[in-house]
């Protein structure tokens, strides 16, 4: 009321302490934040990329080269930066690899957009141009892609190795690429219309520390990191009937709060006898079903353990839910949730053995499918990084098997796409043309950074690459060891086409999302007021500086 009466005064709708950054300042602020994220992962790109050591607030350490892991473990507290982290997450979900590439391209698109903004080109023209270029790039990727024979294990191994280079798995890449390719092929089914369907749900990756990486292996079936519940139980059961159960083998509790008052010793004995009977009955039921082995997701009472051991039944308790579910696939069994209604048909059939160190069960099923890659390494950090790189490799090989399209790596595709986009730009009118050209330049970040990270001169590399592509050598990429330009496809540096398409598309979308914002309204304190000085502070090269982004955290819930 009073405000209307004041007439000339502006209507105040924002709370006290709220801050607002508009137009160019907003764009600069956002671009700087997004670029800071891209900068943070750039040095890890490619076979010669370095690793990052991440220490969380609890002091636990992760050493990794994996883009998405770095970004998700970094405690980023800035809404714009988070949009870029999402690019990595989407890429990880959709393609399993190429996360660093996607984020680095997004950062470069924004850097180049900034230059265009400074030349007074309107954001909508940039957004339009980027969109056109992204669409065009996708079509060109398809044109550049080499269709490979998905039965060609040699090619598949090269795809696996390319995704592993620069990661821990690289040192044993022959072994690991073989494990990965064999695993994927074992879960590939050809449909009636000749398409390959790969279900990675049936491939489990398990890790064990203590032995060297060369001891890693592919097992037909599951690996369960458990001991038998009772020392007198057999540890090995061949051709066994296996029961999977997710209810406890314990005394069933009556009503939660019933109190049993025992007035004399006889009554107590009766009560205990009742409990014993109940357990005896459960074990009897298990025996009648014909089970030789029991994997129980819940607890097994001490007395029941004893009865089971006496029957010569091997039992494991508190197995992980995911393990029980995987065993179900491996054995082709059903998970029993109530012994009273269980049928012999619910059981699976297979062989249960122990590993040499007597630490793990191997379960080989006769009626289902599923394989386990058991990764071994000296320490937790080693196997964890190994696991991340094997997961990426599984994804890219699976994609290649189902999609069949591959690309030459080492910056070859990006250079070729840049060349084609520059040609295409000539046909685009207006200011959008400049944006298409900026997009082309942005893609060349990949070969540039690959060279940079390998200690090579990035300008020389780019000049050589461009010349080769002008000359019609579509597959010319960088050999990071020699610095030479070569046919990377022939050299075995091969990537799946789908991951690259996805990386380019999501980088473009994220950049456009950031560019569309011209108004930041923050409920709290927006400590970097968008001034140039502070922008420079944010443009940091490495992890060390990321803490500085916390200052922008006040915007948290707003965007
Ligand atoms: P991303 O998270 O994007 O997958 P990587 O660190 O795995 O990042 O690096 C991928 C890039 O490294 C790709 O451009 C790929 O072509 C390139 N690359 C991989 N192996 C080689 C190699 N042996 N020589 C040259 N480039 C390679
Ligand atoms: Mg990779």
**CB 294, CB 313: distance < 8 Å:** yes
Beta strands in 360-510 (DSSP E): 361-365, 371-377, 405-408, 476-478, 485-487, 494-496
Q: Are residues 116 and 68 in the same domain?
A: yes
> Per the structure block, which two tokens stand in for 26?
């907003």
- Residue 52's DSSP bridge partners are 64
Residues 68 and 181 both lie in one domain: no
Taking the centre of ligand 2 as the mean of its atom positions, its distance from the CA of residue 99, in whole angstroms, is: 7
Strand ordering across the sheet containing 203-209? 203-209, 371-377, 217-220
Domain assignment present for 12: no
Q: What is the CA radius of gyration of the chain?
A: 30
Where residue 115 sits, what CATH number does that domain have? 1.10.560.10
412 shares its domain with 387: no
Do 422 and 478 belong to one domain? yes
The verdict on residue 346 lying in a domain is yes
**Whether residue 105 is found in the same domain as residue 165:** no
Domain containing residue 345: CATH number: 3.50.7.10
Active site residue 99: yes
State whether 31 and 140 are in the same domain. Answer: yes
Residue 74 lies in a domain: yes
Q: Tell me the DSSP string of 311-328.
A: TT-EEE-S--HHHHHHHH
Contact 330, 290 (CB under 8 A): no
403 CB-near residues (< 8 Å, 6+ apart): 496, 497, 498
Which of ligand 1's atoms lies nearest the C-alpha of 481? Answer: 24
Residues 6+ apart with CB under 8 A from 203: 183, 184, 186, 187, 370, 371, 372, 373, 394
Q: What is the CATH number of the domain that holds 380?
A: 3.30.260.10
- Of 44, 62, 64, 99, catalytic: 99
Could you say which DSSP state residue 301 is in? -
The pLDDT, as a whole number, for residue 557 is 32
The residue from 344, 369, 394 where one domain ends is 369
pLDDT at 74: 77
Residue 175 lies inside a defined structural domain of this protein: yes
66 labelled catalytic:
yes
d(CA 38, CA 41): 6
The helices-and-strands tally (H runs, E runs) of the chain is 18, 21
Give the number of the ligand closest to the Cα of residue 162. 1
Q: Helix axis angle, 458-470 relative to 445-453, nearest 10°?
A: 130
119 and 248 together in one domain: no
Closest ligand to the CA of 461: 1
Asked if 176 and 393 count as a contact pair (C-beta separation under 8 A), the reply is yes
**5 falls within a domain:** no
Q: What pLDDT does 3 receive? A: 46
* 375 φ, ψ (degrees, to nearest 5): -95, 135
Examine the domain organization and report whether 456 and 484 are in the same domain. Answer: yes
The full DSSP string for 244-299 is: EE-S-BSPPP-STT------SHHHHHHHHHHHHHHHHHHHHHHHHHT-SEEEESS-
Whether residues 313 and 393 fall in one domain: no
- In this structure, which ligand is nearest to the CA of 496? 1
User: Residue 392 catalytic?
Assistant: yes
Q: Look at residues 381, 403, 425 and tell me which one is the last residue of a structural domain.
A: 403
Domain contains 10: no
Asked if residue 408 has its Cβ within 6 Å of ligand 1, the reply is: no
Q: Closest Cα to residue 68, out of 48, 47, 52? A: 52
Instruction: Name the domain boundary from 403, 418, 445.
Output: 403
For residue 237, give its domain range.
222-254+261-369
| Domain annotation covers residue 4 | no
Are residue 286 and residue 354 in the same domain, yes or no?
A: yes
Split into its structural domains, the chain has a count of 3
Would you give the distance in Å from CA 484 to the centre of its chain?
Answer: 32
DSSP label of 56: -
Q: Are residues 455 and 384 in the same domain?
A: no
Residue 90 is among the residues annotated as catalytic for this protein: no
Predicted confidence at residue 235, as pLDDT, reads 92
Residue in 25, 66, 292, 403 annotated catalytic: 66
pLDDT digit string (tens) for the chain, length 559 residues = 444 444 566 666 666 677 777 777 888 888 888 888 888 889 899 988 888 888 877 878 888 888 788 888 777 777 788 888 888 899 989 888 999 999 999 999 999 999 999 999 999 999 999 999 999 999 999 999 999 988 899 999 999 999 998 777 778 889 999 999 999 999 998 898 888 999 999 999 999 998 888 999 999 999 999 999 999 999 999 999 999 999 999 988 765 556 666 677 888 888 888 889 999 999 999 999 999 999 999 999 999 999 999 999 999 999 999 999 999 999 999 999 999 999 999 999 999 999 888 889 999 999 889 999 999 998 998 898 899 899 999 999 999 999 999 999 999 999 999 999 999 999 999 999 999 999 999 999 999 999 999 999 999 999 999 999 999 999 999 999 999 999 999 999 999 999 999 999 999 999 999 998 877 777 766 554 333 333 333 433 333 333 333 333 333 333 3
Q: Looking at ligand 1, which residue's alpha carbon is closest to its atom 10?
A: 46
Beta carbons of 498 and 422 less than 8 angstroms apart:
no
Pairing of strands 222-224, 361-365: antiparallel
Residue 294 sits in the same domain as residue 355: yes
Q: What is the pLDDT of residue 198?
A: 92
The answer as to whether 392 is a domain residue is yes
What local confidence, expressed as pLDDT, does residue 267 receive? Answer: 80
């Amino acid at each position: 009321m009073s405000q209307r009466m004041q007439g000339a005064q502006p209507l105040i709708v924002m709370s006290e302490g709220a801050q607002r950054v508009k137009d160019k300042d907003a764009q600069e602020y956002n671009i700087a934040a997004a670029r800071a994220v891209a900068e943070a992962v750039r040095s890890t790109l490619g076979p010669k990329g370095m690793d990052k050591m991440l220490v969380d607030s609890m002091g636990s350490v992760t050493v990794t080269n994996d883009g998405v892991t770095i970004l998700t473990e970094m405690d980023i507290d800035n809404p714009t930066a988070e949009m870029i982290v999402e690019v990595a997450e989407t890429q990880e979900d959709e393609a399993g690899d190429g996360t660093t590439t996607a984020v680095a391209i997004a950062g470069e698109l924004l850097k180049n957009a900034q230059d265009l903004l400074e030349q007074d080109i309107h954001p909508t023209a940039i957004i339009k141009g980027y969109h056109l270029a992204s669409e065009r790039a996708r079509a060109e990727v398809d044109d550049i892609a080499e269709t490979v024979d998905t039965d060609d294990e040699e090619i598949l191994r090269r795809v696996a190795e390319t995704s592993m280079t620069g990661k821990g798995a690289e040192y044993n890449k022959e072994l690991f690429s073989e494990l990965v390719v064999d695993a994927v092929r074992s879960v590939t089914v050809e449909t009636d219309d000749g398409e390959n369907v790969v279900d990675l749900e049936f491939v489990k990756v398990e890790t064990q520390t203590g032995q060297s990486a060369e001891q890693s292996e592919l097992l037909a079936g599951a690996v369960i990191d458990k001991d038998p519940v009772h020392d007198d139980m057999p540890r090995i059961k061949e051709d066994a009937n296996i029961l999977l159960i997710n209810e406890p083998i314990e005394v069933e509790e009556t009503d939660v709060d019933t109190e049993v008052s025992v007035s004399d010793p006889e009554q107590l004995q009766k009560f205990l006898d009742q409990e014993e009977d109940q357990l005896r009955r459960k074990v009897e039921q298990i025996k009648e079903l014909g089970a030789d082995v029991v994997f129980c997701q819940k607890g097994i009472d001490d007395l029941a353990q004893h009865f089971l051991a006496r029957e010569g039944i091997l039992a494991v308790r508190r197995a992980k839910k995911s393990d029980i579910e995987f065993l179900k696939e491996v054995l082709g069994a059903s998970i029993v949730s109530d012994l009273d209604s269980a049928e012999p048909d619910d059981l699976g059939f297979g062989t249960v053995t122990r590993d040499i160190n007597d630490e793990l069960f191997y379960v080989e099923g006769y009626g289902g499918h599923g394989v386990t890659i058991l990764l071994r390494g000296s320490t937790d950090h080693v196997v964890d990084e190994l696991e991340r790189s094997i997961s990426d490799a599984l994804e890219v090989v699976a994609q290649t098997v189902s999609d069949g399209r591959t690309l030459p790596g080492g910056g070859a595709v990006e250079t070729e796409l840049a060349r084609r986009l520059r040609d295409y730009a000539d046909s685009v009118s207006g200011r959008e043309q400049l944006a298409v050209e900026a997009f082309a330049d942005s893609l060349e970040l990949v070969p540039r950074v690959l060279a940079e990270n390998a200690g090579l001169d990035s300008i020389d590399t780019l000049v050589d690459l461009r010349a080769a592509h002008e000359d019609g050598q579509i597959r010319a990429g960088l050999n990071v060891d020699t610095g030479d330009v070569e046919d990377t496809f022939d050299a075995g540096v091969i990537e799946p086409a789908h991951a690259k398409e996805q990386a380019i598309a999501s980088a473009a979308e994220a950049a456009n999302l950031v560019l569309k914002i011209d108004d930041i309204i923050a409920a709290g304190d927006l400590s970097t007021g968008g001034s140039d000085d502070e922008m420079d502070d944010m443009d940091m090269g490495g992890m060390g500086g990321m803490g500085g982004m916390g200052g922008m955290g006040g915007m948290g819930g707003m965007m």
